[in-house]
Amino acid sequence: MSSCDEECCHGDGRDTPLTEMYGSNAFSNAMMRERLPVNIYREVVAVQNGEKELSPQVADVVATAMRDWAVEKGATHYTHWFHPLTGLTAEKHDAFISPTGDGRILLEFSGKELIKGEPDASSFPSGGLRATFEARGYTAWDVTSPAFLKQDKTGVTLCIPTAFISYYGHALDKKVPLLKSIDALSKQAIRVLRALGNETSKRVFPTVGPEQEYFLVEKEFYDRRPDLMLTGRTVFGALPAKGQELEDHYFGAIKERVADFMRELNYELWKVGIPAKTQHNEVAPNQFEIAPIYSNSSTAVDANQLVMETLHSVASRHGLEALIHEKPFAGVNGSGKHNNWSVSTDDGVNLFDPGENPESNARFLLFATAVVEAVDRYALLLRSSAATAANEFRLGANEAPPAIISIFFGGALTEIFDNIAEGKSSGKSAANSQIKIGVTSLPALPKDVSDRNRTSPFAFTGNKFEFRMVGSSQSIATPNTYLNVALAEVLSGYADKLEALPAGSGKNEAIQSIIRESYKAHKKVVFNGNGYAEEWLREAERRGLPNIKSAPDALQVLSRSETIALFERHGVFSREECESRCHIYLEKYSKQVNIEAGVTIDLVQRYIFPVATSAAASFAGDAAALASVGANNTAPAKRAKKIADISGELYDETAKLEAVLAEAQALEEPFAQAKAYAGKVKPAMEAVRLRADALEKIVPKNEWPFPGYEELLFKL
């Protein structure tokens, strides 16, 4: 694909103005406004805003318009596209055709088919909500997220974003809880806004802009790495002499081949209305990032899943493979998905915007205080939202935040809140300052309210909070669901206090009191320093902040009675739904580590042992040949012995891994099994890796069975 400029995007043999191409494959509100009768379009918007339910009559009209649009674009099938608890997406394709009985067909798509689908629910993870013999499940159209077209070599498919529930109404997906959490947050935030005197805003919604990090590698090398293909990461791999220590890749010039990939990636995303905005080289070699403009949470979740799918499909067309695992390569940066989260009203007010004078902006101070309280009270819940087997490799180093949940505010904002808590004057405004560079040809730059902290898991970055703990391969639905519920709970308490004030009493004093008392009680979670420092670990412990490094330990919070009560109170999860997710996530953790351990054993036995044995024999043969002619045979003899010694250690450690793996596999209780995988199997795998990587350093490179880190990280 060739290049894009500001006016046109040239690709697939077409020259299309960017403004016309953008969103051309999305049945967005703009497309609906074009194709639906005015009264029907208004009905749909009212449904999107939560003002009424979708009627069958309106659904029929929308379905006809959607079908006509999709067929004009070449679609032959439609699918209800949903987010099961695998963390991926799922789809079952149905053709538009309907036989007429005389050998012909009609192209039909009814409102009933738009609203409701029936995929098999028995084979998706349900944590006990569905038995294998209970197959029925339903998908329901999510009106808040636009339908879109998928185009590939097989044709064009209309994809309808949907929720996925069981026959008894249990949520079997990540979308239903997210939508419920949005409603819960809106309800409580509107209560607080009304108490503050806002009578115009009707709804509040969270917005999200996820920054997606990923690696690119040559498809040829990927296909020769069974560990990458089966687990998404390298279970073996010795670091090359050069890694990322020169920091020369970060924001560096983008190679032409990568730029070509990025151009096509942008083109495919823009077509379905995903506002891909920023792209750059990340810190590690062959690591990159793409970030969209913010959108509402429901749309952002769908869009991010599409971004991950599109990364893979576009990469394959360029002879590349996109790696989205949190730590595909040991010893260099892992990949995260920085979840930039904010909350706005339907009339355009960002509740986290400090404005020109944050110290006197009561609305900002109140909502920011609520976030501090929510993060402190529900730190374990937020930690659990990023608790996966893959993310364990990433957290705590290489620009990933530590497992301790804390908030970064920056010096100026922290001073404002500290002054309020202590009843002092706020002093000089934190806003409207400038950085003067001291060169007449360079302008003075407006200075943000706070700096940025790359070691903080939850950092305020101007008018939003950046939850940096989320892993690159995760669905962002779960972290945002938990954030929304945690904030809704705190705002509910604030609203209760404000609404209970007697008529004519001092509202400003009450607001000041809420901010002061809440911040004083929860300021221990505010930390502006280096999250990697050993001093912070000790200080966090002194403050009583949890430091849960193990994913299984973090996931246990989902089974606690207080967590279940929180979700039930806001109508997001029932007890059964909450407990099922704990079961599913623990089971997924165990399955992932089990696969990785199996791959580790397989690669050692089938690839590394034969190569190491052959190399040792070859060097021993060289030593014998040299000795037979009276030459010095010390070097090859020592090398043969070193390979043999490490191979012996590798054999022993592999046997230990097999033993602890068998013990873990025999356990049936999900938490006990996950703990065994975390505490015994993973360390045993690392012991095997240590020996295998040592062998890679001394076995001749042309004999090593896999492409090494030099090829994977530096060749594109």
Give residue-wise pLDDT tens across range 560-607.
999 999 999 999 999 999 999 999 999 999 999 999 999 999 999 999
pTM over 0.95: no
State the virtual CA torsion across 537, 539, 540, 543 in degrees, nearest 10: 160
Judged against a pLDDT cut of 70, whether residue 2 lies above it is answered with no
Mean per-residue pLDDT for 382-407? Answer: 86
Mean per-residue pLDDT for 95-109? Answer: 78
- DSSP assignment, residue 604? I
- DSSP assignment, residue 530? -
Taking a C-beta distance cutoff of 8 angstroms, is the pair 413, 454 a contact? no
Mean per-residue pLDDT for 273-291? Answer: 93
Q: Tell me how far apart the alpha carbons of residues 500 and 632 are, in angstroms, rounded to a whole number.
A: 93
CA distance readout (Å), 702 to 12, 243, 616, 625, 696: 40, 21, 14, 22, 11
- Which two three-digit tokens encode residue 31? 């497309």
Q: Tell me how far apart the alpha carbons of residues 417 and 409 are, in angstroms, rounded to a whole number.
A: 10
Which tens digits make up the pLDDT trace of 674-693? 999 999 999 999 999 999 99
Identify the burial level of 614 via C-beta atoms within 10 angstroms of its C-beta, where 0-12 means exposed, 13-18 middle and 19 or more buried: middle
Taking a C-beta distance cutoff of 8 angstroms, is the pair 647, 695 a contact? yes
Q: Tell me how far apart the alpha carbons of residues 152 and 435 are, in angstroms, rounded to a whole number.
A: 49
Comparing 117 with 356, the larger pLDDT belongs to 117
Mean pLDDT, the chain, integer? 90
The helix, strand and coil proportions of the chain, stated in percent and rounded to the nearest 5, come to 50, 15, 35
Comparing 169 with 594, the larger pLDDT belongs to 594
- Which two three-digit tokens encode residue 177? 């809880």
CA distance readout (Å), 34 to 27, 66, 156, 432, 530: 10, 11, 22, 43, 52
**pLDDT grade for 419, boundaries at 50, 70 and 90:** confident
Taking a C-beta distance cutoff of 8 angstroms, is the pair 360, 426 a contact? yes
- Predicted local distance difference test score (pLDDT) of residue 104: 73
- Which two three-digit tokens encode residue 291? 């970030």
Q: Which domains does the chain have, with CATH numbers?
A: 8-173 (3.10.20.70), 182-573 (3.30.590.10), 589-714 (1.20.120.1560)
Q: Buried b / exposed e across 73-110, counting CB within 10 Å, b at 16+?
A: eebbbbbbbbbbbebebbbeeeebeeeeeeeeeeeebe
Residue carrying structure tokens 């024999």: 617
Residue carrying structure tokens 């939508």: 179
* Stretch among 77-81, 417-421, 562-566, 637-641 having the lowest mean pLDDT: 417-421
- Predicted local distance difference test score (pLDDT) of residue 429: 53
Taking a C-beta distance cutoff of 8 angstroms, is the pair 431, 357 a contact? yes
Judged against a pLDDT cut of 80, whether residue 245 lies above it is answered with no
Residues 228, 230, 233, 236, CA torsion sign: negative
Judged against a pLDDT cut of 80, whether residue 709 lies above it is answered with yes
* Stretch among 464-478, 483-497, 504-518, 668-682 having the lowest mean pLDDT: 504-518
Comparing 716 with 175, the larger pLDDT belongs to 175
The HSE-up count of residue 251 (CA atoms within 13 Å, CB side) is: 0
Which tens digits make up the pLDDT trace of 627-636? 888 888 899 8
Comparing 366 with 50, the larger pLDDT belongs to 366
DSSP conformation letters of 234-299: -SS----S--STT--STTPPPPHHHHHHHHHHHHHHHHTT--EEEEEE-SSTTEEEEEEPPEEHHH
- In sequence order, the 6+-apart residues with CB closer than 8 A to the CB of 241 are none
Q: Tell me how far apart the alpha carbons of residues 666 and 491 are, in angstroms, rounded to a whole number.
A: 46
- Predicted local distance difference test score (pLDDT) of residue 403: 87
- Predicted local distance difference test score (pLDDT) of residue 402: 83
Centre a 10 Å sphere on the Cβ of residue 354 and count the other Cβ atoms it contains.
25
Comparing 605 with 294, the larger pLDDT belongs to 605
Q: Tell me how far apart the alpha carbons of residues 679 and 587 are, in angstroms, rounded to a whole number.
A: 15
- Predicted local distance difference test score (pLDDT) of residue 535: 92
Taking a C-beta distance cutoff of 8 angstroms, is the pair 12, 21 a contact? no
Mean per-residue pLDDT for 16-31? Answer: 91
Residue 604: phi and psi, rounded to 5, are -65, -50
Identify the burial level of 623 via C-beta atoms within 10 angstroms of its C-beta, where 0-12 means exposed, 13-18 middle and 19 or more buried: buried
Taking a C-beta distance cutoff of 8 angstroms, is the pair 212, 290 a contact? yes
- For residue 278, list its beta bridge partners: 291
Judged against a pLDDT cut of 50, whether residue 18 lies above it is answered with yes
Judged against a pLDDT cut of 70, whether residue 438 lies above it is answered with no
- Predicted local distance difference test score (pLDDT) of residue 396: 67
- Which two three-digit tokens encode residue 455? 């070691």
- Predicted local distance difference test score (pLDDT) of residue 412: 84
Mean per-residue pLDDT for 515-525? Answer: 95
- Predicted local distance difference test score (pLDDT) of residue 342: 97
Judged against a pLDDT cut of 90, whether residue 702 lies above it is answered with yes
**pLDDT grade for 654, boundaries at 50, 70 and 90:** very high
- DSSP assignment, residue 393? T
Identify which of 657, 696, 649 has the alpha carbon closest to the alpha carbon of residue 676.
657
Q: Tell me how far apart the alpha carbons of residues 102 and 66 are, in angstroms, rounded to a whole number.
A: 27
Judged against a pLDDT cut of 70, whether residue 710 lies above it is answered with yes
Judged against a pLDDT cut of 60, whether residue 537 lies above it is answered with yes
- Predicted local distance difference test score (pLDDT) of residue 439: 53
End-to-end CA distance of the chain: 17
